[in-house]
Amino acid sequence: MATAQPVVVSLADLKSGNISFEILQEAFGPESLGLLVVKDVPAEFASLRHRLLSYASYMGNLSEADFDKFTNEAAKYLVGWSKGREKLKDGGADEFKGSFYANCAFYVDPSLESAKPTEKFPLDKFPEYLAPNSWPPSEMLPGFRPTMEQMCSLIIDTAVLVARACDRFAEKEIPGYPSSYLENVVKSSSTTKARLLHYYPMPEELMAKGVEEDNWCAVHKDHGCLTGLTSAMFIDELKIDSKVPTFGEKVPESLPTLEELPASPDPQAGLWIKDRKGVPVQVKIPRDCIAFQTGEALERITRGKFKAVEHSVRGAYAQGVARNTLAVFTQPNLEDEVDLDQHITFGEFARGIIAKNTV
């Protein structure tokens, strides 16, 4: 089994600007894995992660009638609940994971549920980013929304610091690169989107087929700038009851956390990255760290100095085991340019990718 060790930096070094260009090249450059791991993150991160990833199992085990209350077909299932809407490599629909998508416009303005429509990008033409959030009712998953917003805000705060380090490099290496461009994009964007993922336990008939590299999530590149990732939580849903507990008329402030397995019972399950030679290698993110992965918009913004990374998720060949994680896709506003030479906006760039990846 091929494994790879990502580049690790401390939050303190990001804050002080003490990240060398060599480290950035090693993390994001043409020969890199396209992954940077940040350690020594704020103390509240560990408890937020455990709480939020527990909610992923609670959500994934709701009824179809419950899902209907926070599903938005008009937004192409890219706000609220989504299951079976993503293409796998064989062209079929992905039925093995459920996702909750949230616009992170609240990071810029707590009153916003999405980016504001513009004349160039009206709601009816771009509902994927402009439809308001579809949160589950608070009595269905009490405490979920504030936990999600707190965790996303913490990850975006850290992404701003990573972006600042990238800008220092780009300003020196790329002629005409605008000062603090990526930091301003990440800090001011109202189109950043978060995806809470629940990978369902593998069905027995699928396990019988044998190992495939991307049976939980097909090989792909992210199309934003920097994707913030938590480490995955593995839960034995045969042993742990992942149904929302009955609480009667008195709604609690939050739901109890679920017991996390110390590690995946299948050592090959989880995140796999294709290295620059095209060889899949497994990467494991420590529980107390945040990882940042490069996306296609970052590759364009930096004129290829930093490269987007192909990656996939391999399922756990262990009966009853689910995997939960969070990805926060920091990406430009729809009218921000991602190709500074051809003057292509992020909205124009993203439209084609979304059409290609959904069924």
For residue 133, pLDDT over 80 is answered with yes
Q: What is the mean pLDDT of the chain?
A: 90
What is the model's pLDDT at position 212? 55
What is the model's pLDDT at position 3? 80
pLDDT per residue as tens digits for the range 144-174: 999 999 999 999 999 999 999 999 999 999 9
Q: Can you read off the two tokens belonging to residue 48?
A: 């937020």
pLDDT per residue as tens digits for the range 256-267: 999 999 999 998
Higher pLDDT, 313 or 143: 143
What is the model's pLDDT at position 316? 84
Strands, E, within the chain: which ranges? Answer: 7-10, 35-39, 80-83, 97-103, 193-199, 217-220, 226-229, 233-236, 270-274, 280-282, 290-294, 311-314, 321-330, 337-339, 344-345
Residue showing tokens 């796999």: 272
For residue 211, pLDDT over 70 is answered with no
Q: Can you read off the two tokens belonging to residue 169?
A: 């490099």
What is the model's pLDDT at position 91? 54
Relative to beta strand 7-10, strand 35-39 is parallel
What is the model's pLDDT at position 311? 86
CA distance from start to end of the chain: 33
The band of 107, judged by pLDDT with boundaries at 50, 70 and 90, is very high
The phi, psi pair for 69, rounded to 5°, reads -75, -15
Stated pTM of the model: 0.93
For residue 358, pLDDT over 70 is answered with no
What is the model's pLDDT at position 359? 44
For residue 113, pLDDT over 80 is answered with yes
The phi, psi pair for 184, rounded to 5°, reads -65, -35
pLDDT per residue as tens digits for the range 17-51: 999 999 999 999 988 899 999 999 999 999 999 99
For residue 139, pLDDT over 90 is answered with yes
What is the model's pLDDT at position 221? 86
pLDDT per residue as tens digits for the range 292-315: 999 998 898 898 899 888 888 887
Of 41-55, 191-205, 241-255, 341-355, the range with the highest mean pLDDT is 41-55
What is the model's pLDDT at position 353? 62
Instruction: Please state, as a whole number, how many other Cβ atoms lie within 10 Å of the Cβ of residue 150.
Output: 15
- Angle between helix 144-173 and helix 21-28 axes, rounded to 10 deg: 120
Rounded percentage of the chain residues whose pLDDT exceeds 90? 65
**Span 238-259, mean pLDDT?**
94
CA distance 237 to 260: 10
- Of the listed ranges 3-17, 62-76, 255-269, 301-315, the least confidently predicted one is 301-315
For residue 186, pLDDT over 80 is answered with yes
Relative to beta strand 35-39, strand 80-83 is unpaired
The band of 326, judged by pLDDT with boundaries at 50, 70 and 90, is very high
3-state secondary structure 167-193: HHHHHHHCCCCCCCHHHHHHHHCCCCE
